[in-house]
Chains A and B, each alone.
Chain A
Amino acid sequence: MEPDQAASAQTGPGATETKIHFKVTRFIMEAGVKLGLRSIPVATACTIYHSFFTATVAPGPYDPYLVAMAALYLAGKVEEQHLRTRDIINVSHRYLHPQSDPLELDSHFWELRDSIVQCELLMLRVLGFRVSFRHPHKYLLHYLLSLRRWMNRHSWERTPVSAAAWALLRDSYHGALCVRYLPQHVAVAVLYLALHCYGVEVPAHAQAQRPWWQVFSDDLSQAQIDQIVLDLIQIYTLDAEIS
């Protein structure tokens, strides 16, 4: 059915590595919800995670879950929603050992805490201290606002395009789209897919001189949008394979 899709999963990181990264980014997203993190810090954490494993040999000697915990801690600092290591350790421990009791305040706990802090420093050095990213979220929200004003208000109200686009954007962090593509392009592609899901036509799309997605990001082409959308759908296929 999709020989090209199977091939694209092999190129770049291997299939097992992609699966590991998927699982660990799923962990980051779940932990983000349980820690009360907003969308942007979660996105930063995932981006840091993906960038780290793009820059180093993956997964190498690094425990991906530890890297994820350190990424969460660092992202909280970068995006001004500070997390306590104690909370991160509690949530992660519970995630990895379901239904267990929280850890006692013993040497094991302090060792874990030390590991997180050390890993954080390592990540900062690997990433060259460049941990501030431009995310698609701001762009997507402005695009949604512009589109909302152009569309008929009733058809907008009954079609959850915003919710679908936001969900697609959040889920896209399971893969490394954030690292491979520009934030504006990702935002446009996500919006494109959301509109297609509900069969929404942008008014006067055919009669306009420029298609709406070209307006939002003028260096974008239809082929690029298609590619990003394909990658995004591929992430969901991976989800179905793993679970």
Chain B
Amino acid sequence: MRESGAGRCGLSGLRCNSAPFPLPGEGGLWRVLLPGYSSEASGCCAVWVAADGMERDLLRQALGFHGPALLSLLRTEQHDNPDFRGLLPPGGPSLEPPREAQHQPPARKEKRIDNIEIQHFIAKKADLLFALSWKPSVSTDSESNEENEDCYAVMPPLEQFMEVPSEDRRELFFRDIERGDVVIGRISSIREFGFFMVLICLGSGVAREISQLEITALCPLRDVPSHSNHGDPLSYYQTGDIIQAAIKDIDRYHEKLTISLHSSALPPRLSTTKLGVISSEDLPLHYRRSVEVASTSETYEKVLHHSLGFANPAVVEFLLGKLGLSESSPPSLMRGLQSKNFNEEDFAFALRKKQSASWALKCVKIGVDYFKVGRHVEAMNEYNKALEIDVQNVEALVARGALYATKGSLNKAIDDFEVALKNCPTHRNARKYLCQTLVERGGQLEEEDNLLNAQNYYKRALILDETFKEAEDALLKLRKHMQVILYFLLTLSTTIKTPIKNIGKGEIIYWLLRLILLFPLFTTHLSQ
């Protein structure tokens, strides 16, 4: 433990001599403290040891809000949890209430029954609530300019309905505004060094009610792009123009803002925003709504219900995307519903596939029985039925292919076998039947004198199964056949000596055929 003098407990803000200071910059490491180590300890609750795997900042925030009672509850509920090691076991020294007034925000109410209930709840669910995996995913359009009324109900700022006093609104505005935010205002005066404008509203996803706060911002001359090669860039602007600009610099203490009209001042995600003069129709929707509500003083709920976007059937999906929540693995605080406990095999898709395969197999079996007794038509019906139930069913494809082959539709058979083999490359029957059918088809082609195609088929069979004897034999036989033709043609060509003028049509065809046939044969012959 680091030795240090009197300091403040990071948890309750009380002075405590024993506490080394938890400095957020130090990797968030806090030290455990037992009250009672030092007689001058003010009875502060234990400072937190870094709870690995948990969001320490969140924990700290929750503990700061609820106070020491939550800490003792957490110890009780989570003492089995290794992620909360560093927690003292229950039965540790009892906590005394701090002597000083609680360092709590004034809004904290007196302890009520349900506060205790809530604390119990938090303690029990702490390992889920503070788990790192719940960090909200930063969605890419979380701060997009799109205030699309058709998709959801665009509402005026919340503080308008809450009627927050202007000093607080001002204070919070200057706390939360950042460089790169887009602001919209009206020019109030133009000087030689730039112009001043009074802010009306914000334009980049942060919406605040600031029009009555009389916040002025200065746009220096160098941040005004020039609109012509000569002349003063400021002459383009007039008092009363509505300007959209980007915040360049903030002096939070003096409440001074500097803005710029150059798009280089914008962050990358907003780089398409148009800066400069805009018209009143371009004012953001939330501001226009806010003006309406100011005059009609409707309630939030009324505005919500009157919005067209609220009735959009897809509003839930849209807003889930905007907030970064997922429908496919939804969060839950019930232990039984954590998505990691779900097994893929129990899902509807997987079950349906398994069931389809099983049903299709039954049909195939019936079909094969029909096939064996020669009732080919019924067999084909059964196979087709099976393939309707399960389109890629391997057994059905192989069986149907065999039926096609038997009936002589060799091409269809080959197609079926190929699809089957693609789905299940290890299926022995599919491979065997495919090779046999390829060779058979090759034989048919050979008889039709379509020798090249025949050769291709034999080769395919051999690629599929190098040990397939029939294919090898057929290929050799074919090649010998082709060699014979080749020599025959060669001898013919050497014996014919006909003058060109007397060449008739039949002979031209014969020469053409010879050329076509001979050239590839030459190449294959040479490549052997």
Interface residues of A (CB under 8 A from B): 26, 29-30, 33-36, 38-40, 80, 86-88, 90-91, 94-95, 101-105, 137-139, 141-142, 144-150, 152-153, 157-160, 162-164, 166-168, 170-171, 174, 184, 193, 196-201, 203-212, 215-218, 226, 229-230, 233, 236, 239-240, 243
Closest CB of chain A to B380's CB: distance in Å?
21
User: Is B268 positioned at the interface, with any CB of A under 8 Å from its CB?
Assistant: no
Chain A residue contacts of B138, Cβ below 8 A: 157
The answer to whether B333 touches A150 (Cβ under 8 A) is no
User: Is B106 positioned at the interface, with any CB of A under 8 Å from its CB?
Assistant: yes
Interface residues of B (CB under 8 A from A): 55, 57-58, 61-66, 105-107, 112, 114, 117-118, 120-122, 124-125, 129, 134-136, 138, 143, 152-153, 155, 157-159, 161-165, 168-169, 172, 175-176, 178, 205-208, 299-301, 304, 310, 313, 315-317, 319-320, 322-325, 327-328, 330-337, 339, 342, 346-349, 351-352, 354-355, 358-359, 362
Bound CA–CA A145/B339 (angstroms) = 26
Q: A201 and B136 in contact (CB under 8 A), knowing A34-B348, A164-B331, A226-B114? A: no
Closest CB of chain A to B230's CB: distance in Å?
43
Chain B residue contacts of A150, Cβ below 8 A: 157-159, 208
Pick the residue among A203, A230, A239 that contacts B114 (CB under 8 A): A230
Among B165, B310, B322, B347: residue with most chain A CB under 10 A: B347
Give chain B's interface secondary structure class.
Answer: helix
Pick the residue among A86, A145, A184, A236 that contacts B121 (CB under 8 A): A236
Bound CA–CA A202/B424 (angstroms) = 60
Closest CB of chain A to B70's CB: distance in Å?
9
The answer to whether A168 touches B333 (Cβ under 8 A) is yes
Chain B residue contacts of A33, Cβ below 8 A: 330, 337, 339, 342
Pick the residue among B66, B106, B330, B347 that contacts A206 (CB under 8 A): B106
Bound CA–CA A240/B120 (angstroms) = 13
Chain A residue contacts of B152, Cβ below 8 A: 141-142, 145
Pick the residue among A101, A149, A157, A239 that contacts B354 (CB under 8 A): A101
The answer to whether A208 touches B300 (Cβ under 8 A) is no
* B202 to A, closest residue via Cβ: A149
Chain B residue contacts of A139, Cβ below 8 A: 304
Bound CA–CA A152/B339 (angstroms) = 31
* B347 to A, closest residue via Cβ: A34
Bound CA–CA A22/B418 (angstroms) = 52
Closest CB of chain B to A46's CB: distance in Å?
13
Chain A residue contacts of B178, Cβ below 8 A: 153
Q: A207 and B165 in contact (CB under 8 A), knowing A101-B358, A163-B134, A171-B333? A: yes
Chain A residue contacts of B107, Cβ below 8 A: 201, 205-206
The answer to whether A229 touches B114 (Cβ under 8 A) is yes
Bound CA–CA A131/B97 (angstroms) = 53
Pick the residue among B124, B129, B169, B342 that contacts A204 (CB under 8 A): B169
The answer to whether A158 touches B129 (Cβ under 8 A) is no
Pick the residue among A29, A39, A167 that contacts B333 (CB under 8 A): A167
Pick the residue among A39, A157, A160, A168 that contacts B316 (CB under 8 A): A39
Q: A200 and B61 in contact (CB under 8 A), knowing A90-B355, A163-B136, A210-B163? A: yes
Closest CB of chain B to A130's CB: distance in Å?
19
Chain A residue contacts of B208, Cβ below 8 A: 149-150
Among A80, A199, A233: residue with most chain B CB under 10 A: A199
5 interchain residue pairs of minimum CB distance: A199-B65, A209-B163, A102-B355, A208-B162, A141-B319
Q: A167 and B105 in contact (CB under 8 A), knowing A236-B125, A243-B336? A: no
Bound CA–CA A75/B49 (angstroms) = 48
Pick the residue among A36, A174, A197, A201 that contacts B334 (CB under 8 A): A174
Chain A residue contacts of B348, Cβ below 8 A: 34-36, 87-88, 90-91
The answer to whether B163 touches A86 (Cβ under 8 A) is no
Bound CA–CA A52/B172 (angstroms) = 49
Among A29, A145, A217: residue with most chain B CB under 10 A: A145
Chain B residue contacts of A103, Cβ below 8 A: 355
Chain A residue contacts of B163, Cβ below 8 A: 208-210
The answer to whether B323 touches A243 (Cβ under 8 A) is no
The answer to whether A91 touches B319 (Cβ under 8 A) is no
Chain B residue contacts of A233, Cβ below 8 A: 117-118, 120-121
The answer to whether B323 touches A141 (Cβ under 8 A) is yes
Chain A residue contacts of B64, Cβ below 8 A: 199
Q: A145 and B322 in contact (CB under 8 A), knowing A239-B334, A240-B124? A: yes
The answer to whether A166 touches B331 (Cβ under 8 A) is yes
The answer to whether B316 touches A141 (Cβ under 8 A) is yes
Q: A204 and B118 in contact (CB under 8 A), knowing A158-B57, A167-B331, A170-B330? A: no
Bound CA–CA A148/B332 (angstroms) = 21
The answer to whether A152 touches B105 (Cβ under 8 A) is no
Bound CA–CA A95/B65 (angstroms) = 42
Chain A residue contacts of B125, Cβ below 8 A: 197, 236
The answer to whether B164 touches A208 (Cβ under 8 A) is yes
Bound CA–CA A236/B129 (angstroms) = 14
Chain A residue contacts of B325, Cβ below 8 A: 162-163, 166
